[in-house]
Amino acid sequence: MVVCAARDLAGEGATAIDLFSGTGSTSVALACSFAVTSVDVQEYSRVMCSALIEEGSPIVDDRVFLDRWASFKEGLLCRYGRLVSYEQGILGSPDENAGELSSIIEHGCLLAMDGMASPELSGLMRESLVTPLPDGLTDTIVRYYGGTYFSYLQAVELSAACSAARTFDGWQRDRYLASVICAASHCGSTVGGQFAQPLRTVDRRGLVKTKTIRKATACRAKSVSRATMSALEEIDALRKPGPHNTAIRAECREWLREQKPRADVIYADPPYSRYHYSRYYHVLETIARGDSPDITPNPATGRPSRGMYRAGRYQSPFSTRGGASGAFEELFVGCSASAPALVLSYSPYPSDRPSTPRMITIDDLTALAKQSYRHVDVVKVDDITHSKLTKKESFLETSETAELMILCRN
Ligand SMILES: C[S@@+](CC[C@H](N)C(=O)[O-])C[C@H]1O[C@@H](n2cnc3c(N)ncnc32)[C@H](O)[C@@H]1O
């Protein structure tokens, strides 16, 4: 649908920009017809888009990656082996050990060490942290997210896979990191498949929630290596590489202003609710960046926040009431200077969900668009399908969302 609209507006044109490129599914679709530049403020998006649209040939077989991954995993298990075995034992009979699994999810974060874990778990956590980490290994994913969002075993495997991916350069690295990002999204013990908040395993009365423990057990049974290999296959099957395709991490208005790019058509899919994407995808961002970020503190305790959110994570003006109007005005000015046509996706106000109000009305949006474009049409797209990097088997699967497209031409 988006691609048809872009093709109609671009005429014979051959270049497109996908602003706010997210998981890269629209970039891939556009890459069937255009040379595509994908832009998003998040590094995880750049990695996904690079894997999906940039040129590069997959290594004939992935054995080198797998061998390095296995050796990094072995190294990490020197430090975390006993903690991993302890949790795997619990997961063998979760109904009998619901309290222990709850303690791992609620208090098992090695970075936070809130002192409230069960005595056995606390002892093993302390023991792990005083065991030296073999040279050259990084364990950020284990220390930050193990226990809370992943089983310790999954976290060790993800950490080792990230290190193995980082032994490669350029597009090869992005392809491996993208597969690890997909695996993390698939295997996480989370609410709704993204990382906005960890599972709550205890109710208001202090009782362990059996249903949540079952859900966590099912998530923890997922194999990171299987998920990574199937993501690699999916990426290789889906990708649409082109010599002029490129993926960029940048704030879109700044990028338009500073780079002054030229294209035949721009597709823009900005955020429309007050929920910041950086809160949903912070774990994936850490995987993509390979850093060890500061964590926002819980204001009440001063300790790391329960969700382990990255400090200084990006707050988009498109997701704030005060910022949206000015941000859209600048976006329209920048887009109209760079391409004669713009397809903008926006979701109208959902009357059934007053908790997720839009930051700007469609009327205000079209009025702003008309300041920069001569022709502005609003098209209703019923049941347009949108990709999400969450849930179920596939990393690029769809959900039904009523949506509008605003078509702008100079
Ligand atoms: C609605 S999602 C895009 C979804 C995407 N079309 C897909 O198929 O996955 C919005 C995206 O905008 C990005 N974003 C938010 N504010 C931004 C800004 N100022 N500049 C660039 N990207 C931004 C977010 O990181 C997020 O990936």
- The span from the CA of 71 to the CA of 8, in Å, is 51
In ligand 1, the atom with minimum distance to the C-alpha of 25 is 8
What would the two tokens of residue 366 be? 């079209």
The residue among 118, 140, 130, 124 whose CA lies nearest residue 85 is 124
CA–CA separation, 51 and 374 (whole Å): 37
CB-based contact 316:234 (threshold 8 Å):
no
Q: Give the number of C-alpha atoms closer than 13 A to the C-alpha of residue 128, restricted to the C-beta side.
A: 28
186 CA distance to ligand 1 middle (Å): 20
Please give the pLDDT value at position 349.
64
- Report the predicted TM-score, pTM, of the whole model to 2 decimal places: 0.92
Q: Which atom of ligand 1 is nearest to the CA of 42?
A: 25
Residue 399 pLDDT more than 60? no
373 neighbors 342 (Cβ within 8 angstroms): yes
pLDDT at 275: 74
Token pair belonging to 303: 């300790």
Please state, in angstroms and rounded to a whole number, the distance separating the CA atoms of residues 23 and 93. 36
pLDDT above 60 (res 389):
no
CA-nearest residue, atom 14 of ligand 1: 20
387 — pLDDT class (breaks 50, 70, 90): very low
Q: Ligand 1: residues whose CB is within 6 Å? A: 20-23, 25-26, 40-42, 45, 251-252, 269-271, 277, 316, 318, 387
| Residue 284 alpha carbon to ligand 1 centre in Å | 14
Domains contained in the chain, CATH given: 2-55+241-276+317-409 (3.40.50.150), 62-235 (no CATH)
Separation of CA 410 from chain center: 34
For the stretch 221-230, pLDDT in tens is 999 999 999 9
For the record, the structure tokens of 13 come out as 């044109």
The more confidently predicted of residues 12 and 364 is 364
C-alpha of residue 41 to centroid of ligand 1, in Å: 7
If one residue of 36, 41, 44, 258 were mutated to test the ligand 1 pocket, choosing by the most ligand atoms within 8 A of its CB, it would be 41
User: Is 148 exposed, middle or buried (CB count within 10 Å of its CB: 0-12, 13-18, 19+)?
Assistant: buried
Single-letter amino acid code for the residue at 382: D
Q: How far apart are CA 144 and CA 111, in angstroms?
A: 6
Cα angle 228-233-235, degrees, rounded to a multiple of 5: 90
